[in-house]
Amino acid sequence: MTQKKNITFDDIAQYTHFSKTTISRYFNNPDSLTLENQQIISDALVKLNYKENKVARILANGKTEFVGILIPNLYLHYYSEMLNQILATYETYGYKFLVFIGHENAETERQYIQELLAYKIEGLIVLSHTLSSRELADLQIPIVTIEREDQYVCSINTDNYMGAIQATSLLARHNCDILIHINTPTADNIPAYGRIQGFMDFCKENNIKNRIFCHKTENTYDSSLQYLKDILEELETTYTGMRKGIFVSNDTHANILLNLIVRKYGRLPDDYYIIGFDDSPVAREAVIPISTIGQQIDRIANEAVSLLVSQMNERKKRKPVPLKEPIHKTITPILIRRETTEKEDLPENR
């Protein structure tokens, strides 16, 4: 069989009657051409069935179309679903992703970032909390963070405070005798602190009896299981016969707590109401689907990549205009009612 000829810049130049320099500018700096000439070259590429040599393009202009992702762990279902949604944006934006898991170790994360920079990444998405935004900004590449301290870099965050108000209000409407919030220690400059603050403010303003459990755990199942076992024992001992409304800071822990209760009673007793946070798949797939505060993870992922791409595209212009200050976008959460609060939907109540 006759091998098809690879289309070169010479071929494109002859077809369009432009110089090879103009064709090169189309690939490396399209903004330097008029829209009309860009369209002429684009149409020619289709007619000639041009197949781009990406390796050659990288060597020519240093643009890899790689974006780095630094994520703290994949144990919490929120992070695994966020990563899934970020990777899915390839179809829209065409960027490939290099992913590292930091495990909350600052030196490890710095090594990973140097590795990413060696691969000539064009931008970085950070979900890890370990390194300060000041340190990240000093990297001098486009950066977008998600749900972490973000003073010096662009970010996409959920309105955690509103989410906490939604969750606590729902439990209060079920006439719970005491409201419980389960979390881990969170600095007040982290967006997720809004879950603690919103819970406290709502209970105080409405004079509702409440309690907060907030202890450090390792990001492992065994550590989380023991933490939640201890809490459940405390609730069983201290609040016997009382209707308990429990707002858990993430769906992973909400699911573990639910499993502990169901294993003990064979069902979700009438005196337990549970709501999580995130709307990660585990909430929908739980043995009893869990009410939750939906973070709109797909939208956050798309907004993060879109914001990063806009910064990377700006850098490719002949005269880029840097941001005067970081852009921060906040996404409204959505209350999702399922069987752990809507007891009439449970099988035994139908």
Residue 204 shares a structural domain with residue 57 = no
| C-alpha 307 chain-centroid distance | 13
70-99 in b/e burial notation, b at 16+ Cβ within 10 A? Answer: bbbbebbbbbbbbbebbeebeeeeebebbb
Residue 47 shares a structural domain with residue 124 = no
Residue 13 shares a structural domain with residue 78 = no
Long-range contacts made by residues 311-317, C-beta under 8 angstroms, separation at least 24?
311/123, 311/142, 311/144, 311/154, 312/122, 312/123, 312/142, 315/122, 315/142, 316/29, 316/31, 316/63, 317/29, 317/31
For the cut 50, the answer to whether the pLDDT of residue 350 exceeds it is no
| CATH code of the domain containing 131 | 3.40.50.2300
Please check whether residue 1 lies inside any domain of the structure.
no
pLDDT tens digits, residue range 94-144? 899 999 999 989 999 999 999 999 888 999 999 999 999 999 999 999 999
Residue 251 shares a structural domain with residue 339 = yes
Residue 240 shares a structural domain with residue 141 = no
| CATH code of the domain containing 50 | 1.10.260
Please name the amino acid found at residue 13. Answer: A
Q: What is the pLDDT, as a whole number, of residue 225?
A: 96
Q: What is the pLDDT, as a whole number, of residue 66?
A: 92
Task: Give the pLDDT band (50/70/90) at residue 282.
Answer: very high
Task: Give the pLDDT band (50/70/90) at residue 29.
Answer: confident
Q: What is the pLDDT, as a whole number, of residue 53?
A: 57
Residue 289 shares a structural domain with residue 224 = yes
> Around Cβ 265, how many Cβ atoms within 10 Å?
10
For the cut 60, the answer to whether the pLDDT of residue 58 exceeds it is no
Burial class (CB in 10 A: 0-12, 13-18, 19+), 58: middle
Listed in sequence order, the residues at least 6 apart from 59 whose beta carbon sits closer than 8 Å to its beta carbon are none
Q: What is the pLDDT, as a whole number, of residue 98?
A: 94
- Identify which of 294, 269, 260, 235 has the alpha carbon closest to the alpha carbon of residue 346: 269
Q: What is the pLDDT, as a whole number, of residue 57?
A: 54
Size of the chain, expressed as the number of residues it contains? 350
Q: What is the pLDDT, as a whole number, of residue 16?
A: 92
Q: What is the pLDDT, as a whole number, of residue 154?
A: 98
pLDDT tens digits, residue range 287-344? 999 999 999 999 999 999 999 999 999 988 878 888 899 999 999 999 999 999 997 6
Of residues 55 and 90, which shows the higher confidence score? 90
Q: What is the pLDDT, as a whole number, of residue 2?
A: 43
Residue 191 shares a structural domain with residue 223 = yes
Cα–Cα dist 341/290, whole Å: 8
Task: Give the pLDDT band (50/70/90) at residue 5.
Answer: low
Residues of the chain above pLDDT 90, percent: 75
Q: What is the pLDDT, as a whole number, of residue 345?
A: 52
Task: Give the pLDDT band (50/70/90) at residue 59.
Answer: very low
Please check whether residue 118 lies inside any domain of the structure.
yes
When the pLDDT of each residue in the chain is averaged and rounded to a whole number, the result is: 91
pLDDT tens digits, residue range 247-266? 999 999 999 999 999 999 99
Residue 76 shares a structural domain with residue 198 = no
Q: Read off the pLDDT of each residue in 39-63 and give the average, rounded to a whole number.
A: 69
Residue 87 shares a structural domain with residue 117 = yes
Burial class (CB in 10 A: 0-12, 13-18, 19+), 26: buried
Q: What is the pLDDT, as a whole number, of residue 237?
A: 96
For the cut 70, the answer to whether the pLDDT of residue 348 exceeds it is no
Structural domain containing residue 53: 9-61
Q: Read off the pLDDT of each residue in 169-189 and give the average, rounded to a whole number.
A: 96
Please check whether residue 4 lies inside any domain of the structure.
no
Q: What is the pLDDT, as a whole number, of residue 170?
A: 97
Span between the terminal Cα atoms of the chain, in Å:
69
Please check whether residue 57 lies inside any domain of the structure.
yes
Please check whether residue 344 lies inside any domain of the structure.
yes
Please check whether residue 312 lies inside any domain of the structure.
yes
Residue 272 shares a structural domain with residue 341 = yes
- Identify which of 266, 205, 269, 197 has the alpha carbon closest to the alpha carbon of residue 236: 269
Listed in sequence order, the residues at least 6 apart from 13 whose beta carbon sits closer than 8 Å to its beta carbon are 19, 20, 22, 23
Residue 186 shares a structural domain with residue 271 = yes
Please check whether residue 175 lies inside any domain of the structure.
yes
Tally of structural domains, the chain: 3
Q: What is the pLDDT, as a whole number, of residue 54?
A: 54
Cα–Cα dist 246/190, whole Å: 22
Residue 218 shares a structural domain with residue 88 = no
Coil, strand or helix at 60 = helix
Please check whether residue 3 lies inside any domain of the structure.
no
